[in-house]
């Protein structure tokens, strides 16, 4: 499978432990750094990776949560795998209610914690979840993140990171991305 000539699916070198569905952001594609590092970690831990590529401008007037759920549900149905994990970035974290309803472990990169529907869905999820965000991100709510951590979510909160998990300093941004990659790797090692 390809999107614009780019591959959208990868198989691990050995037997697959399950399938990871990667739901990108509004303007943050699956090939962008956070999701690319997540893809590599998923493969390293034996997951087949299926990226969802979308043009969010085609959503029209459809509710963004409904739109994302529809895409994730279609990808999930197409897999037929016993074990599925969801990795969502920003807009893709609107799949939290779907993941909760289906008991799918999840990695949420810069989840939209300022939106109660997203935060409530993450909080209602009984499975394993990793939340990653930064205090310089206006869509990250530290109080909500702390409450979700008390409820069982693993949380990586980076004080100086913005919504792309970066800063104006290139070296510091790479350091933050390394910190995120380590958190994803550790989460997957326990999955």
Model confidence at 112, in pLDDT bands (50, 70, 90)?
very high
Domain count, the chain: 1
Alpha carbon distances (Å) from 4 to 53, 79, 99: 9, 21, 27
Range of the domain at 26: 2-189
Q: What number of CA atoms fall less than 13 Å from residue 70's CA on the CB side?
A: 9
pLDDT in tens, 116-169: 999 999 999 999 999 999 999 999 999 999 999 999 999 999 999 999 999 999
Q: Give helix 116-124 / helix 142-150 axis angle, nearest 10°.
A: 10
Specify the CATH number for the domain of residue 110: 3.40.50.1820
pLDDT in tens, 66-91: 889 999 988 888 887 789 999 999 99
pTM exceeds cut of 0.85: yes
Q: Do the beta carbons of residue 129 and residue 104 sit within 8 Å? A: no
For the chain, give the number of residues.
191
């Amino acid at each position: 499978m390809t999107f614009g000539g780019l591959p959208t699916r990868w198989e691990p070198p050995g037997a697959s432990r399950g399938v990871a569905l990667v739901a990108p952001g509004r303007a943050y594609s699956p090939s962008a750094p956070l999701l690319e590092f997540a893809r590599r970690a998923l493969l390293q831990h034996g997951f087949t990776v299926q990226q969802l590529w979308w043009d969010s401008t085609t959503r029209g007037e459809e509710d963004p949560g409904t739109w994302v759920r529809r895409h994730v549900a279609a990808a999930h149905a197409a897999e037929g795998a016993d074990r599925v994990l969801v990795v969502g970035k920003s807009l893709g974290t609107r799949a939290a209610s779907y993941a909760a309803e289906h008991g799918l472990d999840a990695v949420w990169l810069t989840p939209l914690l300022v939106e109660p529907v997203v935060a409530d869905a993450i909080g209602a999820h009984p499975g394993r979840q990793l939340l990653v965000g930064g205090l310089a991100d206006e869509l990250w709510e530290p109080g909500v993140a702390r409450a979700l951590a008390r409820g069982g979510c693993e949380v990586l909160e980076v004080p100086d990171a913005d919504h792309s998990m970066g800063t104006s300093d290139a070296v510091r941004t790479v350091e933050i991305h390394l910190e995120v990659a380590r958190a994803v790797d550790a989460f997957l090692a326990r999955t």
